[in-house]
Chains A and B, each alone.
Chain A
Amino acid sequence: SAVISQKPSRDICQRGTSLTIQCQVDSQVTMMFWYRQQPGQSLTLIATANQGSEATYESGFVIDKFPISRPNLTFSTLTVSNMSPEDSSIYLCSAETGRTGELFFGEGSRLTVL
Chain B
Amino acid sequence: AQSVTQPDIHITVSEGASLELRCNYSYGATPYLFWYVQSPGQGLQLLLKYFSGDTLVQGIKGFEAEFKRSQSSFNLRKPSVHWSDAAEYFCAVGAGNYGQNFVFGPGTRLSVLP
In the bound complex, residues from chain B placing their C-beta under 8 Å from that of A114 are none
Sort chain B's interface into a size bin: 20 to 34
In the bound complex, residues from chain B placing their C-beta under 8 Å from that of A31 are 98-100
Q: Which of B32, B42, B99, B106 has most chain A Cβ within 10 Å?
A: B99
How far is it, in angstroms, between the C-alpha of A107 and the C-alpha of B107 when the chains are bound? 18
Give the A-B pair count, Cβ closer than 8 A.
Answer: 60
Q: B96 touching A103 by the CB < 8 A rule?
A: no
Q: A33 touching B96 by the CB < 8 A rule?
A: no
Q: B44 touching A105 by the CB < 8 A rule?
A: yes
In the bound complex, residues from chain B placing their C-beta under 8 Å from that of A105 are 36, 43-45
Closest to B42 in A: A107
CB-CB contacts below 8 Å: B6-62 with A:
32, 34, 36, 41-46, 49, 51
Number of interface residues of A (CB under 8 A): 25
A17 at the interface (CB under 8 A from B): no
Taking the nearest CB of chain B, how far is it from the CB of A35, in angstroms?
8
CB-CB contacts below 8 Å: A54-69 with B:
none
Known interface pairs A42-B90, A43-B90. Does A103 touch B43 (Cβ–Cβ under 8 Å)?
no
Closest to B90 in A: A42
B residues lining the A interface (CB < 8 Å): 32, 34, 36, 41-46, 49, 51, 90, 92, 94-96, 98-100, 102, 104-107
Q: Which 6 A-B pairs have the closest CB atoms?
A: A96-B99, A101-B96, A107-B43, A105-B44, A101-B32, A105-B43
Given A101-B96, A101-B99, A105-B43, 6 other A-B residues pairs in contact with their CB atoms under 8 A: A42-B107, A101-B32, A103-B92, A103-B99, A105-B45, A107-B42
21 interchain pairs, CB-CB under 8 A:
A4-B43, A31-B98, A33-B99, A41-B106, A43-B90, A45-B102, A48-B100, A92-B43, A94-B44, A96-B99, A101-B94, A101-B95, A101-B96, A102-B49, A103-B34, A103-B46, A103-B92, A105-B45, A106-B43, A108-B43, A110-B41
